[in-house]
Structure 1
Amino acid sequence: MPKRELYVSVDVEADGPIPGPYSMLSFGMAACGTFDGDEFRPSDPAESTFYAELKPISDAYVPEALAVSGLDRGLLAVDGRDPAEAMNAATAWITEVSAAANASPVLVAYPLGFDWMFLYWYWMRFADAGSPFGHSRHLDLKSLYAAKARTLVTRSTKRQMPAGLLPDRPHTHNALDDAIEQAELFHNLIRWAGNPHRDLPG
């Protein structure tokens, strides 16, 4: 096992709240830095990326969820990638960038729960080798902020973060755009000293 980690920022667009009854329609990934326990080395997240749009796996969808991404389920049913092909291709990309960095891949998301739930389910359901992140190699940026800011998770929304932490890139709801934007937030959070002298909430 390599002695450093490669962080991969990910974002998912789906047509409902959970995988199985509903579908992951697209996802984007961007390699954004390595850490060896002592030094974090950021990398430009736009330089090494993966993006896929998938065929829906059911007829069910929530119109409000679908409207967020603006993706067309009818077009995806024809032109979207087969889920098994897409998840295996994503695994191959992660394997390649991790080997190039001599690092173990760690998935990064804000918030983690939604994106991890869809990706892990899809990898376990469709990919030949399961999840390239195992079952637990992931980092929740919302939790990272709460710990550094010494604040409540419910007070760890982007609206409540210091302006200097927020990305300069726009949030477009294109999964790749947003994975790259999120990587910038990750870079800023890693560098941020936080609020070490603030009392913990009681």
Structure 2
Amino acid sequence: MPAQEIFISVDVEASGPIPGEYSLLSIGACSIFETEKTFRCELQPSSPKHDPEALAVTGLSLAHLEKNGLPVTKAMQQFEHWLESCRSKQDEKLIFVGFNAAFDWSFINYYFHKYLGRNPFGFSALDIKALYMGSTHGTWAETKSSNMDVALKPKLKGTHDSLEDALYQAELFRLIRQKEGESN
């Protein structure tokens, strides 16, 4: 019997397009089917390099995060501890779920490995855009959140706040899976 899967919606805000050169600034996460289980933290920048447009989107400042963010190792330890608390059994598999997962996953995977030497998600991620494209037999262009909002009618909206966006993504995931169930 395969291990039970625990789907975790994760959203990040970052100071630029790639980890290593740019900083992970905030992490928001929730258990997709138990959304009262949430995680949120802001991190001290690991690099001064930043894209001004990326910072403008996040509404965060490097100076504020330098003073008020968690040290990176501590933030990743807290995130890992929270992820472990989402499991009721040790053999349950944590599944990373993101909206444009490639971006968020790249930062989470890099930071877990660089600062803790491991990633509790393992080596894969589930992308909501790809799930939607497959379930609707649509095009990649149709996977924009604005298109999903019209089709799925979620109550939440994306805001570029990492926890609010993780909750919004979780709702999109549940609505896609619900529609799949209705069409079977």
TM-score, length basis structure 1:
0.84
Question: Distance between the aligned counterparts of 1:152 and 1:84, measured in 2?
Answer: 39
Structure 1 residue 181, shift from structure 2 partner: 1.2
What code does the residue aligned with 2:148 have? M
| Residue matched to 1:71 | 60
What code does the residue aligned with 1:74 have? A
Question: Distance between the aligned counterparts of 1:107 and 1:6, measured in 2?
Answer: 9
More helix by percentage: 2
Q: In the TM superposition, what are the counterparts of 1:140-159 in structure 2 within 5 Å?
A: 140-159=127-146
CA RMSD of aligned residues (A): 2.1
Structure 1 or 2, whichever has the larger Rg, is 1
Report the identity percentage: 37
Unaligned runs of 5+ in 1: 34-42, 197-202
What code does the residue aligned with 1:21 have? E
SS at match of 1:55: coil
| Residue matched to 1:36 | none
Unaligned runs of 5+ in 2: none
| Residue matched to 1:20 | 20
- The question of whether the paired residues in 2 share the 8 Å contact of 1:148 and 1:195 is answered with no
Distance 1:173 1:83, change over 3 A: same
SS at match of 1:50: strand
Structure 1 residue 160, shift from structure 2 partner: 2.7
- The question of whether the paired residues in 2 share the 8 Å contact of 1:165 and 1:189 is answered with yes
Structure 1 residue 159, shift from structure 2 partner: 2.6
| Residue matched to 1:132 | 120
What code does the residue aligned with 1:51 have? R
Residue by residue over 1:96-129, the C-alpha shift from the partner in whole angstroms, topping out at 9 and shown as x without a partner, is: 111369621101111111000010000000125x
Report the more deviating stretch, 119-128 or 163-172: 163-172
Q: In the TM superposition, what are the counterparts of 1:1-150 in structure 2 within 5 Å?
A: 3-33=3-33, 43=34, 45=35, 47-99=36-88, 103-128=92-117, 130-136=118-124, 138-150=125-137
Question: Distance between the aligned counterparts of 2:71 and 2:153, measured in 1?
Answer: 35
TM-score, length basis structure 2:
0.92
Question: Distance between the aligned counterparts of 1:53 and 1:163, measured in 2?
Answer: 31
Structure 1 residue 195, shift from structure 2 partner: 10
Residue by residue over 1:157-177, the C-alpha shift from the partner in whole angstroms, topping out at 9 and shown as x without a partner, is: 123336241421132211011
- The answer to whether the aligner puts 1:170 opposite 2:154 as a matched pair is no
| Residue matched to 1:199 | none
Distance 1:195 1:99, change over 3 A: closer
The count of aligned residue pairs is 183
SS at match of 2:88: helix
Structure 1 residue 154, shift from structure 2 partner: 2.7
